[in-house]
Amino acid sequence: MGKTPTGKTPSGKNTSGRGQRELKVKVKSARGRKLSSTRWLQRQLNDPYVKRAKAEGYRGRAAFKIMELDDKYRFLVPGARIVDLGAAPGGWCQVAVKRCNVLGERGGKAVGTILGIDLQEMEPIAGCELHQLDFMEDDADLKVKEWLGGKADVVMSDMAAASSGHKQTDHLRIIALCEAAAYFAFDVLDEGGTFVAKVLAGGAEGELQKLLKQRFTKVANIKPPSSRADSSEKFVVATGFKGEADPEE
């Protein structure tokens, strides 16, 4: 097939090596906008997961992280009772609704219970029960078990503490948040349950790993493909909850 003078085939397809790369959107720095904000905006505009999330109707690129984790560990199953801590904006809940077949879209009876918990109010999600609640409140576990009608099969968390700009401080904050989520999970999980949470690599996660290994059969650490390469985030997936702790531990 012949080429047009511009180096493209008549169909408009670029045949040069440089042209085969996807064109990236460049964002000019605007007056009054920080350079970091400009870089963030440029990254968002060129992020394939951001584009895919918009195309598929998910509320954020984080939806693909829980998909990839579930593809490997299979904890979002029909009939499961799921608690999503720090659920806003709701991408993980959207994935859970589909994979647990809450709306019965894959045939059969609608099954599963998805509970989204967050400090802020969220836009409704079909098939998901959303509650404004601080999971660290003394009676939060009792409320959650009441809403579920029993104990949970999965507690998952994509929470991150507000950034201070200091790497080590941020690391300690998110580990503390993850530990709080883990203790909450101990209170609401049924035996054999699963705990999934985001952590930041940085050296202070050893105690968290030790804690989880005492309470779960298996503990794995994974960085899913959709997690940005320049991010220190990873996810811990703890499966096979052992139930009530031995008082002598």
Q: Name the pTM for this structure.
A: 0.78
Average pLDDT on 29-50 reads 55
The annotation status of 118 as a binding-site residue, yes or no, is yes
Give me the number of domains the chain comprises.
Answer: 1
Q: Point out the residues that are catalytic.
A: 198
pLDDT at 20: 39
Examine residue 151 and state whether it is found in any structural domain, yes or no. yes
The annotation status of 92 as a binding-site residue, yes or no, is yes
- Give 180-185's long-range contacts (Cβ < 8 A, gap of 24+): 180/135, 180/136, 181/85, 181/135, 181/155, 181/157, 182/208, 182/211, 182/212, 182/215, 184/85, 184/135, 184/136, 184/140, 184/141, 184/155, 185/152, 185/155, 185/241
Read off the pLDDT of residues 101-134 as tens digits, 9 standing for 90 and up.
Answer: 999 887 776 678 999 999 999 999 999 999 999 9
Examine residue 20 and state whether it is found in any structural domain, yes or no. no
Examine residue 51 and state whether it is found in any structural domain, yes or no. no
Examine residue 158 and state whether it is found in any structural domain, yes or no. yes
**Which residue range(s) make up the domain with 180?**
60-241
Examine residue 102 and state whether it is found in any structural domain, yes or no. yes
Q: What is the CATH number of the domain that holds 162?
A: 3.40.50.150
